[in-house]
Amino acid sequence: MIRYVYSIMLLFLGLPVLASGLNSIPPEMNQKVDSLFVIASSGELEFRDLVQPAIDSIAAIGPQAVPRLIEKYDTQDARERLTINNILVKIGKAAVPLLVDALKLENPEQVSRICSTLGEIKDSAAVIPLTGMIDHNDWRVRSEAVGAIGRIGDLRGNQAVMNLLLDTVEIVRKSAAVSSGQLVIREAIPNLVHMLGDDFYGARFCASEALVKFGFDAIPVIADSLNTKDTLLGNLGCTTLGMIGGDSAITVLVTQLKSGVSMRRALAVEAIINCSDPLACSYIEEMVPSESDPIVLFYVHKFFQKYAAE
């Protein structure tokens, strides 16, 4: 075993990087990447101290290691996928041209993982190629592409994100909602408010988190939607207003204290609590004499306990 580890470590001395380009990568280079990758992706305790040096050594090879890593990116092993991603991110911008070119691959698993890696590298040169993935027939590619656009943070991806807010697949809508918040796309506010009533809880809550980032700008649109017949939208709209906070949010929430739906009243009280404004006490006091629902009263008492303690 010691002799085996020693032979592997000899590879860390490295082969010279050729100046003649990627088209002339020798078989020895791929063999070196393969040998180092066995250690880099190993979960064996005996190789624990060699894992990071192996990762660093592959990354030090630079772009010449990228084609081989892309080939391996169809692996079904989670540890190997993570290792490939970590190495490519460590190589960084130098890997981007090859990764972008690999978006043409037919295997959607590889392409979706490449999209994700491009998002972690965060090179704006990848944005336009990633926008070309939003019409891909595999939802995994669309989801990872729109997520990557948000992480990169280049406004040239705004329209692609807007388009995928309306995707037929819930996971894609969720990723687009996250990216809308990351890019602060104000034109997306109406669609995000509509998404508060999405059938998929992940899309709903990511839309809510995105709207909080817009602050005051989101309040009028949420206010216009609170009286919708969509219970999910109205309820989460109240919660979102509570996270945004401020006088404008409270003014809207107060209108929901008289809702005919007890859960809406309860959520409005909870949202007002989250706004942390003691001046709202009078509005809560006015509803107490006529309120009989135990859930609503629970939040009412919670409200007064909070400010009595302060």
Average pLDDT over residues 238-263: 93
Query: What beta strand segments (E) does the chain contain?
Result: none
Cα gap 171→115, rounded to integer Å:
15
Which helix or strand (DSSP H or E) is residue 156 part of? none
Domain locations in the chain as residue ranges: 1-104, 219-310
Give this prediction's pTM.
0.86
Average pLDDT value for the chain: 90
Average pLDDT over residues 185-206: 97
Convert the pLDDT of each residue in 230-250 to its tens digit: 999 999 999 999 999 999 999
- The encoded tokens of residue 278 equal 């003691």
Cα gap 47→40, rounded to integer Å:
9
Whether the Cβ atoms of residue 255 and residue 282 lie closer than 8 Å to each other: no
Give yes or no for residue 3 having a pLDDT over 60.
Answer: no
Cα gap 208→202, rounded to integer Å:
10
Please name the residues in contact with 207: beta carbons below 8 A apart, sequence gap of 6 or more: 177, 192, 193, 195, 196, 198
Task: Give me the count of residues in the chain.
Answer: 310
Superfamily holding 219-310: Leucine-rich Repeat Variant (1.25.10.10)
Average pLDDT over residues 132-158: 97
- Measured between alpha carbons, how far is residue 184 from residues 149, 152, 209 in Å? 12, 13, 11
Whether the Cβ atoms of residue 65 and residue 33 lie closer than 8 Å to each other: yes
CA angle 251, 201, 292 (to 5 degrees): 50
- The encoded tokens of residue 98 equal 């090859």
